[in-house]
Structure 1
Amino acid sequence: MVVYLDVLFGVNALMDYTTLLAAARLGGVSVKRRRLLGAAAVGGTYSAAAMLFPALALAPLRILSGIGLCAAAFAGQRAFARLCALYFVVAASFAGLAAALGAASGRQLLTGAGYYAAVPLRVLVLAAAAGYAVSGIFLRGDALHGPVRREVETLRICFGGKACELRVLHDTGNGLFEPVSGKPVVVMDRAAAVELLGEAGRPLRDGTMAASEALARLPPRLAGRFGLLPYRAVGTESGLLLYFRPDSVYRADGKPLDCVCAVGPDQIGQGAYDGLIGV
């Protein structure tokens, strides 16, 4: 079979972009498109190089190249390891379905260097769509919650000149509102809150400190932006959460969210997400 390097590059860059985008969506993170495009271009270049130098197509090097693509696309994300795992799951789904569809059509779709469009483009598109659907049945929105989709979105929270991106799960059990204003409450992972709050977060580093004591230890110039929020949870008859009024909160689409933020337990979501928000 005659293989054209430009076609090989283009097809694999397209499939790598699709795979990385699917991993990001399934992981509930927001990634800039230019990072995905850059990583996809690296993947296309690797496939072309592997055609010229077959040793690059050996399994260990293919795994390393996959990790490199994830680093190019997802470096800096809190759940980087999980995103890598999602990438490989989606990539395996795509490749398996592409091989099956290629065999059914009697044409070759996969080479040692990656995908090659030796079949009609609609077959390639069908393989990608089917792979996304199959992996999404189990992983969409939050890979740790099985087939039931629980939406995760990314918020950008700003406070005191600092900003962080927080992945929050839409939780039907979170009905918290600020008592005075009635604003909804975003419950943050304690570590994420401490990092965002800077000086104001120092009293929170001790996870055993009561919310009321942490409030009393805040610097006077910042204390007016904080308060105490009563709550109830499974296993807790009643309690208090320390909350604060952020400078701004934006959704992934750029729309502002008028809310307050509360400091939650040491870890929320076991790395799958970093906070909770009501539906």
Structure 2
Amino acid sequence: MRYIVYIDRLFLLQFIQSCMLLLLTRAFLRSTVTLKRIVLASSAGALLFCMILLMPDMGRSMKILLFACSGLVTLGMAFRIKSLQVFCKAVILYHGAAFLLAGALSALRAVCGRETAMDTLQASACAAAIGITALCILRWEQIKREEIVVTVILEEGEIQLMLKALIDSGNSLYDPISGKPVCVVEREALEGKIPLDIPEKFRLIPYHSIGKKHGMMQAVEIEKLKVKKDGQELIVEKALLGLYEGKASAHGGYQMILHPALFENRRNGHDTKSRNTRKNAV
């Protein structure tokens, strides 16, 4: 039996699907990889898929194996992951996004009452629409999460500095020596305002992140950190601030990321106080 394969349509379908899967994976990983890199990796992945499909004299099982390998190659090209742990996480999220996309397409066909398979153009349009919808939902959730922004006052001697900070449950940075949680703040927000070169207050904090195996972050200790939230004022004495070289927020909504452990009153190693600043209400 002979089949007619429209290679241009097949390439378009694979390209759009790869773009959607990589964009969803980027959102799940909170990666900063550029859209240009996503497009280039998707183009290479789609081309590789077409080449494997058109290979003659090759068994079905071997082609399935090569298709799976091509997906891993596409993923590696897009994110340049060097850590095995992060790569495994990315693979799981990538295939999770693939199941999400396939399940949504199947559900859409059932709702529309279609029993026959979609053609390539229809499938491409549906994959793009579902992927964009999922990305919009993830973006909306991220924006809602970033709305948990509070006012922070940093005190060092006679100096007081007011910043906006995000309460981020994903911040798990601790000082390995003292066990204290480390908040992350833009270095630019502190330079010239709070002394950063006092030797006895200087720290180096090891960290790891997506796309980077490990590193050392410079940190300083300040006398007092005050957080105002829900009518409460939390005071943290001898707080540790990790100095971030970039921007904490892409849109400039905050300059600092607070550690969630600061809000656990009974956690060991915290010099914290709390007082109610809310006025009596009826």
- Taking structure 2 as the reference length, what is the TM-score of the superposition? 0.55
Distance 1:38 1:55 in 2: 28
Distance 1:39 1:246 in 2: 30
Post-superposition offset of 1:126: 2.2
Q: Which residue is 1:91 aligned to?
A: 98
Give the partner amino acid of 2:67.
R
**1:227–1:243 contact (8 Å) kept in structure 2:** no
Q: Which residue is 1:130 aligned to?
A: 130
Post-superposition offset of 1:41: 1.6
Distance 1:218 1:11 in 2: 56
Q: Which residue is 1:41 aligned to?
A: 43
Post-superposition offset of 1:2: 0.5
Cα deviation code 1:214-241 (max 9, x no counterpart): x873359x998955314599xxx86433
State the secondary structure of the residue aligned to 1:249: coil
Post-superposition offset of 1:77: 8.6
**2:248–2:256 contact (8 Å) kept in structure 1:** no
Post-superposition offset of 1:72: 1.6
Distance 1:5 1:125 in 2: 17
| Alpha carbons of structure 1 residues 207 and 262: separation in structure 2 relative to 1, 3 Å | farther
User: Are positions 1:57 and 2:63 aligned together?
Assistant: yes
Paired positions, count = 211
Q: Which residue is 1:16 aligned to?
A: 18
User: Are positions 1:140 and 2:147 aligned together?
Assistant: no
State the secondary structure of the residue aligned to 2:150: coil
State the secondary structure of the residue aligned to 1:208: coil
State the secondary structure of the residue aligned to 2:11: helix
Unpaired runs of 5+ residues, structure 1, are: 110-117, 142-148, 154-168, 195-203, 266-279
Of 5, 8, 11, which residue of structure 2 is paired with 1:6?
8
| Alpha carbons of structure 1 residues 176 and 67: separation in structure 2 relative to 1, 3 Å | farther
Give the partner amino acid of 2:201.
L
**1:187–1:264 contact (8 Å) kept in structure 2:** yes
| Alpha carbons of structure 1 residues 33 and 227: separation in structure 2 relative to 1, 3 Å | farther
Q: Which residue is 2:78 aligned to?
A: 73
Post-superposition offset of 1:32: 0.4
CA RMSD of aligned residues (A): 4.4
Of 142, 150, 172, which residue of structure 2 is paired with 1:175?
150
Post-superposition offset of 1:9: 2.1
Return 81-90 or 41-50, whichever deviates more.
81-90
Q: Which residue is 2:33 aligned to?
A: 31
**1:232–1:239 contact (8 Å) kept in structure 2:** no
Post-superposition offset of 1:243: 2.6
Post-superposition offset of 1:65: 2.8
Distance 1:217 1:178 in 2: 22
Give the partner amino acid of 1:151.
Q
| Alpha carbons of structure 1 residues 32 and 92: separation in structure 2 relative to 1, 3 Å | same
Give the partner amino acid of 1:124.
S
Q: Which residue is 2:201 aligned to?
A: 218
Distance 1:247 1:100 in 2: 45
Distance 1:86 1:264 in 2: 25
Distance 1:107 1:248 in 2: 51
Fraction of identical pairs, as percent? 17
Cα deviation code 1:4-60 (max 9, x no counterpart): 3333223211221122112223443332012101210222122212212355532x4
Larger Rg over CA atoms: 2
Distance 2:181 2:62 in 1: 56
Post-superposition offset of 1:262: 5.6
Q: Which residue is 1:113 aligned to?
A: none
| Alpha carbons of structure 1 residues 57 and 96: separation in structure 2 relative to 1, 3 Å | farther
Post-superposition offset of 1:177: 0.7
- Taking structure 1 as the reference length, what is the TM-score of the superposition? 0.55
Post-superposition offset of 1:245: 6.4
State the secondary structure of the residue aligned to 1:140: helix
Post-superposition offset of 1:90: 1.9
Q: Which residue is 2:225 aligned to?
A: 229
Unpaired runs of 5+ residues, structure 2, are: 155-159, 183-197, 204-217, 262-282
